[in-house]
Amino acid sequence: MRKHQWIATLLSLICTGLGMFYIGTPGMMIGGTLLMALQGAALFIFFMTLGFLGMLIGPIAIGLHIIGLIIPVIYFNYRSPKKPMFDEKRRRQLSSPWKIIVRTVIGLALFAGAVYAGYTWGSAPFMKTAAEKRVVQEAAESYLEQKYNEPFKVTDVDYTWATSSYQLRAHPEQEPELVFTLNSNDSSPPTISNDIYLNLLWGQQLKDELKPLLAELYPDQAFADAYVNADFDTVERDYNQLANADGNVSQNISLIVFADLTADNLAQEKERVLELIRRLPSVTVQGETDLHIEYYSMDQKTPDRVKKIEQDFDYMNGKRSTHFFRAFDISKITSTDDIEIRGLE
């Protein structure tokens, strides 16, 4: 019986109540089914309460699992001189390998079904099916293609039950690196809104305009990102045409600069920032410009890191910078006295 005891114990560790199905007496199988059903119910309650009862449900689920482990151990260690036929009956119960396999497979199927049902029924009110997400995806792709007269690919569709809305990520098929976000409601048919394609497209064009200036002022030191907002009644792809938006344009420029700033060269860096601010209007359109610079030490500038920054500007998020500068409206900067480069060390 030693082998059967270890196998039943191992199965009970893997799945709640599975060792009881391995043993296979009617009482064991009924008890194992009950434990599995209770596990599924616990999972259902956990999701239906958004996890707020986790501190209660967790110990209950663990307790059920332990019960399913203890019962087989007791079964195999039970001895009674008043019941000499018990051991023989137990031996016969475990003498047929194919019956053991069938019982165990049935128990595993019931456990998987209980867990799947608990998860599916419990999470259903807060999630959407693949088919429902596909409807939103197709609606968004159709919306974007009609609006911009070019094909788009929606890559991610995430549903937020609290707001009954979808958050999507998409990109033009011809420019897969230009990934942007948009939203959809939960109506039928879906209503698509808040796409930021043009904002990022304008920002990309502004980055191209900035490259010669940055190459002159920060040779091999600076990397830029830009985001542009504009009140424009029509679909306008050309950033330079935003000059006709009557000044209702805001431009956010972010720079990563690799430079070892010290007390001795900080004044020189302020002069360089002032020169950048004075020359930015030559590459930006009329409107408000926000400038944010994060400084990193030169030893952080490696070929691998530079490549990753060029692919994803946000790669340096979380990396420790040494200094930073922020001006929410560069038109208010008139001299180095208006420039404050703050140290973080």
User: Which H or E run includes 293?
Assistant: strand 288-296
pTM of the predicted protein model: 0.69
Residue-wise pLDDT for 284-313, tens only, equals 998 899 999 999 999 999 999 999 999 899
pLDDT of residue 1: 59
Two tokens at 276? 């950048």
Angle at the Cα of 175 (from 159 to 302), degrees rounded to 5? 95
Mean pLDDT of 174-201: 94
3-class secondary-structure state, position 236: coil
DSSP state of 42: H
**Among 225, 269, 261, 270, CA closest to 344:** 261
Residue 200 pLDDT more than 70? yes
Nearest to 65 by CA among 20, 96, 29: 20
Segment 242-252 shows an average pLDDT of: 83
The answer to whether residue 345 scores a pLDDT higher than 70 is no
Strand partners, 183: 167, 193
- Partner residues linked to 195 by β-bridges: none
- What is the rounded average pLDDT of the residues 77-86? 66
Residue 272: phi and psi, rounded to 5, are -70, -40
What's at 297, amino acid-wise?
S
What is the residue-averaged pLDDT of the chain?
Answer: 90
Residues 101, 151: Cα–Cα separation, whole Å? 54
- E strands in 132-208: 152-160, 165-172, 180-185, 192-193
Q: Is 84 helix (H, G, I), strand (E, B) or coil?
A: coil
Phi, psi of 287 (to 5 degrees): 150, -175
Distance (Å, rounded) from C-alpha 229 to C-alpha 330? 16
Share of the chain above pLDDT 70, in %: 95
In which band, very low, low, confident or very high, does the pLDDT at 93 lie, cut at 50, 70 and 90?
Answer: confident
pLDDT for position 81:
58
| pLDDT confidence tier of residue 247, bands split at 50, 70 and 90 | low
pLDDT of residue 83: 63
Order of strands across the sheet that contains 249-258: 222-230, 249-258, 288-296, 323-327, 342-343
Alpha carbon distance 119, 96 (integer Å) = 35
pLDDT score of 255 more than 90:
yes
Average of per-residue pLDDT across 191-208: 95
With vertex at residue 298, the alpha carbon angle to CA 292 and CA 303, rounded to the nearest 5 degrees, is 100
